[in-house]
Chain A
Amino acid sequence: MSPFSGAVTYAADAVPTAAAAGGTFQLIALLIALPLAGAAILLLLGRRTDRWGHWLGVLASLSSFVVAVVLFFALLGQPSEDRTVTQHLFDWIAVGTFNVPFDLRLDQLSMTFVLLITGVGTLIHIYSVGYMSHDPERRRFFGFLNLFVASMLLLVLADNYLLLYVGWEGVGLASYLLIGFWYFKDSAAVASKKAFVVNRVGDVGLSLAIMIMFVTFGSVTFQGVLGSASKASESQLTWIGLALLLAACGKSAQFPLQSWLLDAMEGPTPVSALIHAATMVTAGVYLIVRSGAIFDAAPQARTAVIVIGAITLIMGAIIGCAKDDIKKALAGSTMSQIGYMILAAGLGPVGYAFAIFHLVVHGFFKADMFLGAGSVMHGMNDQVNMRRFGALRTVMMVTWITFACGWLAIMGIPPFSGFYSKDKIIEAAWSISPAAGLVALVGAGITAFYMTRLFAMTFQGKARWTDDVHPHESPWIMMFPVAILALLSAVAGFILAQGNAIENWLAPVTGFEEPDLPFSAVYLQVAALALVLVGAALAWIPYATRAVPEVAPAGNVLTRAARSDLYGDAVNEAVFMRPGQYLTRWLVWFDNRVVDGIVNGTAATIGGLSGRARRLQTGFARSYALSMLGGAVVVAAALVLVRL
């Protein structure tokens, strides 16, 4: 990465010196404690809390958001270089030279995430009150939601990698519990297991990274690792980087660990919105951005990040094009958008800020669209097949408008949010590698296509409803959060882009470099917009103006491939599952035949030998005398030979 002449660069220390928490900042621990307490009460007290449990959940999340806002304004009051605060709670692990304190770090990066998590989280809590009103297990749902919020907050507030790992595992657990919330459904149980297992593969990466960090730096705190990153050898840092990338792939559903995300749509829609769109799947991006100092010194790892991001970007888009299940199409979209974020994070300081920017606005518009899909499902008797939707704009006006905000935002139509973040990513990618930039550009076009297809099949055209559905608008308690999210999708990007606000806000933590393009950025913006409009038109015409077949047509090779998730599951089964099954079956056979065979065979052999040997006891004294003489012959022979 060559230095850029004339670019505004805020060279950040790898880790800004942190101030100890004092005054308002002592509230940092409350951020985690409040939802954690909510989860504990709801889950431990059980059925007694059924009547009011959901409100307690909402209150816990809301109070955490209030604390977050207070802390945000407190941070704003600090000068820009002094916005890193650590709060030491207690000494967690102190073994010889290995010290891991239970410390929370609040800086610009984690503050952004905290606001996103608590804000969007609270909105989704409120939405869930209405969405899950018919479910008798609603209280348990809110307990798990609170648990998730607490774990995610711990993840982003941790001051060392080990504590981050605790939060990492916590969100994995919450994801498992929530995907399999309706555990009596086989498909949900299997999907939650799949999510957990694939996440586990990624977790191995994080464990390895922490172990290599300890070996390399002797410490796992951010200060210890990121502060000394430039002193370690490049090969060590590359290994750490690749291990962290593996972890991010697992949590953020990137290639090759992407197979679980589409199955995770078995969970209730608020779960899909909160966890698998806005927050948990962005944990991988957080990890990479936070460990920027490591990737800065390991260009090979950085290249790997870019490649993974690019592959997943296209992969998610292609999958999203062929799905008829509205939630699965949105999941494919999530996969693709996070690919954008990972791609941006792999670009280095030129892209970190935009990765976070896109992450934030993606949280808004994706949550908006997921909740909108939930509203659609609520009105359509929980159906998800878009081929049986159509013309819902006539009966669900609010859902239609809010969904449109999200749709326009994700496509990147100015002045909606997505335009500001996505275009910056394309520019930054192009400045580093035109190939990456081209991929991002093409991806934008495909994004427009499939999102327009989704929107058109659901809300436009003619009604293709089944006889038992009577679509109606969802209650205000559900639409109120959606409306807020739609508003944010519309304006947040514009606001945050004013005066490079978000870049400057994040610069002390992530560093910031202007992308250096050989031509003006406007060309790229125009090209992107053109591709988007073409893609949208390509989808609008067949799906909004013409009749949509109610049964999915056969489709060409690519369509069929996309419908089977680009054979991701098939590859996993062939490469891992079947060999694994064969291995276990062979091990069972080995244990039965060989190990038991040896044991039993030894016993049988000894039994057989002793059965033969006992025939020596003939009872005849003369036979024994013969053996005695034989022994005497042996002794005499030995003596004679020795003397010879």
Chain B
Amino acid sequence: MNPANYVYLSAVLFSLGAFGVLVRRNAIVVFMCVELMLNACNLAFVSFARIHGNLDGQVIAFFVMVVAAAEVVVGLAIIMTIFRTRRSASVDEANLLKY
């Protein structure tokens, strides 16, 4: 069992998450794709912790989780606020900062 397999999986999940950010228009789904990317990174960290034989990777993954949680809280609050004023949750609707 090649420990690199986990890292491959992490790379694939990360790419899928990036693709999702670019393609989906619903703000909440975009947010979910970002969470997917973060999870992929966590998987990579845990795999490297096992490869290197110390727990530092797991600690970092733990902190990533904390930060992701905080980020989700604030991000969803923002999306809700935008939704209240503009009655739309599409990321394409907020496009006034243009030429």
* Any A–B CB pair closer than 8 Å: yes
Interface residues of A (CB under 8 A from B): 614-615, 617-622, 625-626, 629, 632
Contact A617 B98 (CB under 8 A): yes
The smallest C-beta distance from A630 to any residue of chain B, in angstroms, reads 10
B97 on the interface (CB 8 Å rule)? yes
Contacts A619-B95, A625-B22, A629-B22 known; 18 new A-B pairs at CB < 8 A? A614-B99, A615-B99, A618-B99, A619-B94, A619-B96, A619-B97, A619-B98, A621-B91, A621-B94, A621-B95, A622-B21, A622-B23, A622-B91, A622-B92, A625-B21, A626-B22, A629-B18, A632-B18
A–B pairs, 28, beta carbons within 8 Å = A614-B99, A615-B99, A617-B97, A617-B98, A617-B99, A618-B99, A619-B94, A619-B96, A619-B97, A619-B98, A619-B99, A620-B91, A620-B92, A620-B95, A621-B91, A621-B94, A621-B95, A622-B21, A622-B22, A622-B23, A622-B25, A622-B91, A622-B92, A625-B22, A626-B22, A629-B18, A629-B22, A632-B18
* Neighbouring A residues of B99 by C-beta, 8 Å: 614-615, 617-619
Instruction: Give the nearest-CB partner of B92 in chain A.
Output: A620
* Neighbouring B residues of A620 by C-beta, 8 Å: 91-92, 95, 98
The digit string for B1-42, where 1 denotes a CB below 8 A from any CB of A, is 000000000000000001001110100000000000000000
The smallest C-beta distance from A534 to any residue of chain B, in angstroms, reads 97
Bound complex: CA A580 to CA B45 (Å):
80
SS class, residues of chain A in contact with chain B: helix
Bound complex: CA A618 to CA B92 (Å):
10
Bound complex: CA A138 to CA B41 (Å):
105
Instruction: Give the nearest-CB partner of B97 in chain A.
Output: A619
Question: For residues 71 through 99 of chain B, which have their beta carbon under 8 Å from a beta carbon of chain A?
Answer: 91-92, 94-99
The smallest C-beta distance from A611 to any residue of chain B, in angstroms, reads 9
The smallest C-beta distance from B12 to any residue of chain A, in angstroms, reads 14
* Neighbouring A residues of B92 by C-beta, 8 Å: 620, 622
Bound complex: CA A250 to CA B97 (Å):
75
* Neighbouring A residues of B97 by C-beta, 8 Å: 617, 619
The smallest C-beta distance from A496 to any residue of chain B, in angstroms, reads 96
Bound complex: CA A620 to CA B94 (Å):
7
* Neighbouring A residues of B23 by C-beta, 8 Å: 622
Interface residues of B (CB under 8 A from A): 18, 21-23, 25, 91-92, 94-99
The smallest C-beta distance from A245 to any residue of chain B, in angstroms, reads 72
Bound complex: CA A626 to CA B94 (Å):
17
The smallest C-beta distance from B41 to any residue of chain A, in angstroms, reads 13
Bound complex: CA A632 to CA B22 (Å):
14
The smallest C-beta distance from A280 to any residue of chain B, in angstroms, reads 75
* Neighbouring B residues of A618 by C-beta, 8 Å: 95, 98-99
The smallest C-beta distance from B21 to any residue of chain A, in angstroms, reads 5
* Neighbouring B residues of A629 by C-beta, 8 Å: 18, 22
Bound complex: CA A629 to CA B19 (Å):
9
Bound complex: CA A626 to CA B18 (Å):
9
A-B complex: 7 closest residue pairs judged by Cβ atoms? A619-B98, A619-B95, A614-B99, A617-B99, A617-B98, A621-B91, A620-B95
Bound complex: CA A615 to CA B98 (Å):
8
The smallest C-beta distance from B18 to any residue of chain A, in angstroms, reads 6
Instruction: Give the nearest-CB partner of A618 in chain B.
Output: B98
Bound complex: CA A619 to CA B91 (Å):
10
* Neighbouring A residues of B98 by C-beta, 8 Å: 617-620
Bound complex: CA A621 to CA B94 (Å):
8
* Neighbouring B residues of A619 by C-beta, 8 Å: 94-99
Bound complex: CA A618 to CA B94 (Å):
11
The smallest C-beta distance from A610 to any residue of chain B, in angstroms, reads 10
The smallest C-beta distance from A624 to any residue of chain B, in angstroms, reads 10
Bound complex: CA A135 to CA B97 (Å):
83
A615, A618, A622: most-surrounded residue (chain B CB, <10 A): A622
Instruction: Give the nearest-CB partner of B25 in chain A.
Output: A622
* Neighbouring B residues of A617 by C-beta, 8 Å: 97-99
Bound complex: CA A618 to CA B21 (Å):
17
Bound complex: CA A629 to CA B18 (Å):
8
Bound complex: CA A620 to CA B30 (Å):
13
The smallest C-beta distance from A247 to any residue of chain B, in angstroms, reads 69
Instruction: Give the nearest-CB partner of A632 in chain B.
Output: B18
Bound complex: CA A619 to CA B22 (Å):
14
The smallest C-beta distance from B87 to any residue of chain A, in angstroms, reads 19
The smallest C-beta distance from B26 to any residue of chain A, in angstroms, reads 12
A614, A615, A618, A620: most-surrounded residue (chain B CB, <10 A): A620
Instruction: Give the nearest-CB partner of A616 in chain B.
Output: B99
Bound complex: CA A629 to CA B15 (Å):
10
Bound complex: CA A617 to CA B97 (Å):
8
The smallest C-beta distance from B4 to any residue of chain A, in angstroms, reads 15
